[in-house]
Amino acid sequence: MVHQLEKKDVSWSGRFSEPVEKSVQDYTSSVNFDRKLALKDIKASLAHAEMLATRKIITKNDFKCICKGFKIIEKEIVAGKFQWRVELEDVHMNIEARLTSLIGEPGKKLHTGRSRNDQIATDIRLWLRDEIDFIVFKFFELRLGLVGQAEKHFDLMLPGYTHLQVAQPVTFGHHLLAYDEMFSRDCERLLQIRARVNKLPLGSAALAGTSFDIDREIVAKLLGFDGLCENSIDAVSDRDFAIELSSALSLVMIHISRLSEEMILWMSGGFDFIKLPDKFCTGSSIMPQKKNPDVPELARGKSGRVIGNLVSLLVLMKGQPLAYNKDNQEDKEPLFDSVETVKSTLSIFAEMIPNIEVHKDNMIAALEKDYPTATDLADYLVRRNLSFRDSHEIVSKIVSYAIKQNQKLEMIPLKVLQQFSKLIREDVYSYITIGGSILSRKHIGGTSSKQVKKTARLKKTRILKQLRTLNV
Ligand code: ARG
């Protein structure tokens, strides 16, 4: 059945000889998701109207009426009382129709010198700019918690792993600060992308600009944009800023996912390195003894959808000829989803990380089970003028011996060690204990407790300083 769409309802229906099918309306409508941009749409419209009035393209009185109308609409939207109509297609036409129903003629003048194509590009940029600021703010919160834990556990020793096999002793603080390095690069990336997002498309109109004597600088200033998009065709058509943001958000989730994976391992019986308070865990409906790390597991899982969203956006853009195509309407949902996923994940991690409790004894016991200072013994022999390759060979033999004897390296008597190499002396023991190994790695970027304490403090100061510059 053909739904009877009244011609006056849709602003573009003038050249159409018959109403659009209901199924086509439903298929092409975006208002159910792009209404998320409503307040940004109003903000951009107000700036556009002010510029039109300044350039005498509309009258001062028109502008006054437009402001009045938008005040009412904004209230309706915030109160959840705005009547969104699918037949009006998108957020722009819903708001414009309501404006005209409230203020009449001046509402119809608002669209002078613009198009929904530059409107939507502007709305997304305005929205993303605020979302990036919020995400970076949440990141700083999370990072402060992480660095706080690193400071607290600056000298707590545990195995560092390669291939998930015990490799060398590290401090827990150092391990946590590795994640802070990743997160600090994530923040840096987000802020670099923000600078490219923060450019004004309005004025590009449908694709070729407008014949009206507009002033784009005024609009940019009113909206807090740092500059203008300098080619009208590009401005309405490309979404690379959204794609690179999705890519940065995917990396955020990959980093979070790696941390999650470690937390899951550390909470498992085999490791038993950490404990999460009950309020961050859930139980099993069948196994009464279970306490599951659902939050890290979900975060690991959610990284998949954020990566999926990135792929959607890349493929969405790939085949499009210039300039605007309706395909671009499909950018909203993946973008919204990635932003929401990262926001909720960072928020819950910011709450959870400071609550991690550690099982110190299990961490140290895991170190003592293995031979994590074998490299230190090899380095010792190199210091006594042996080549590293020869020293590696000798230490391999010592380790085989120790395994057979079920003995830790530092428990092997000097006499026995000297049977493997005459270069070994009494002082060897200060190098091959776990504490000695850690203590010796005191350079910048090393795992020594002194270095970790210093780095954690430095990071904390930096984060607090950056936090003050954010306008959230
Ligand atoms: N809903 C559209 C989008 O998200 C807005 C622009 C529509 N422009 C058009 N010419 N149909 O991209």
CATH code for position 356: 1.20.200.10
Q: Per the domain annotation, does 263 fall within a domain?
A: yes
Both tokens of 347, joined, read 């928020």
Pair 64, 180 in one domain: no
pLDDT at residue 120 is higher than 70: yes
Where does 348-418 show beta strands of DSSP type E? 357-358
- Residue-wise pLDDT tens digits, 379-409: 999 999 999 999 999 999 999 999 999 999 9
Cβ distance 235 to 322 under 8 Å? no
Percent of the chain clearing pLDDT 90 (strictly above): 91
Pair 356, 412 in one domain: no
Both tokens of 305, joined, read 């959808």
Pair 197, 269 in one domain: yes
Residue nearest atom 3 in ligand 1 by C-alpha distance: 329
Can you tell me which residue has the tokens 């996923």? 341
**The pLDDT of residue 8:** 53
Pair 250, 105 in one domain: no
CATH of the domain at 91: 1.10.275.10
Residue nearest atom 4 in ligand 1 by C-alpha distance: 329
What is the arithmetic mean of pLDDT over 153-172?
Answer: 96
Pair 371, 359 in one domain: no
**The pLDDT of residue 2:** 41
Residue 264: strand pairing partners: none
Pair 126, 213 in one domain: yes
- Residue-wise pLDDT tens digits, 296-350: 999 999 999 999 999 999 999 999 999 999 999 999 999 999 999 999 999 999 9
Pair 136, 200 in one domain: yes
**Confidence at 5, pLDDT banded by 50, 70, 90:** very low
Pair 92, 122 in one domain: no
Pocket flag, ligand 1, residue 94 (CB < 6 Å): no
| Active-site residue, selected from the candidate residues 101, 284, 387, 396 | 284
Least confident of 64-78, 218-232, 427-441: 427-441
DSSP-derived 3-state class of residue 292: strand
Q: Which of 175, 172, 169, 152 is nearest to 436 (CA)?
A: 169
What is the arithmetic mean of pLDDT over 204-221?
Answer: 98
Q: Each residue of 262-278: b (16+ CB within 10 Å) or e? A: bbbbbbeeebebbebee
Least confident of 63-72, 284-293, 433-442: 284-293
Q: Per the domain annotation, does 2 fall within a domain?
A: no
What is the arithmetic mean of pLDDT over 288-301?
Answer: 89
- Residue-wise pLDDT tens digits, 36-69: 999 999 999 999 999 999 999 999 999 999 999 9
Can you tell me which residue has the tokens 């792993």? 161
Q: Per the domain annotation, does 1 fall within a domain?
A: no
Residue where a domain stops, chosen among 96, 112, 128: 112
| Active-site residue, selected from the candidate residues 17, 163, 285, 443 | 163
Pocket flag, ligand 1, residue 117 (CB < 6 Å): yes
**The pLDDT of residue 288:** 72
Pair 127, 215 in one domain: yes
State the Cα angle at 262 between 450 and 281, rounded to 5°: 115
What is the arithmetic mean of pLDDT over 141-151?
Answer: 98
Which atom of ligand 1 lies closest to the CA of 91? 1
Instruction: Indicate the number of domains in the chain.
Output: 3
Pair 299, 419 in one domain: no
Q: Per the domain annotation, does 347 fall within a domain?
A: yes
Q: In a mutational test of the pocket of ligand 1, which residue from 116, 204, 330, 333 has the highest number of ligand atoms less than 8 Å from its CB?
A: 116
Pocket flag, ligand 1, residue 328 (CB < 6 Å): yes
Q: Name the pTM for this structure.
A: 0.94
**Confidence at 3, pLDDT banded by 50, 70, 90:** very low
Pair 328, 371 in one domain: no
Pair 55, 196 in one domain: no
**The pLDDT of residue 9:** 63
Both tokens of 199, joined, read 């450019």
**The pLDDT of residue 470:** 81
Q: Is 92 a catalytic residue?
A: no
Give the C-alpha distances (Å, rounded to integers) separating 375 from 352, 363, 387.
36, 20, 13
What is the arithmetic mean of pLDDT over 82-95?
Answer: 97
CATH of the domain at 417: 1.10.40.30
Residue where a domain stops, chosen among 348, 365, 382: 365
**The pLDDT of residue 15:** 79
* 400: containing domain: 367-469
Where does 279-424 show beta strands of DSSP type E? 357-358
Pocket flag, ligand 1, residue 329 (CB < 6 Å): yes
**Confidence at 16, pLDDT banded by 50, 70, 90:** confident
Which atom of ligand 1 lies closest to the CA of 331? 4
Cβ distance 30 to 328 under 8 Å? no
What is the arithmetic mean of pLDDT over 151-162?
Answer: 97
Cβ distance 180 to 188 under 8 Å? no
State phi, psi for 31 to the nearest 5 degrees: -65, -25
Residue where a domain stops, chosen among 79, 112, 145: 112
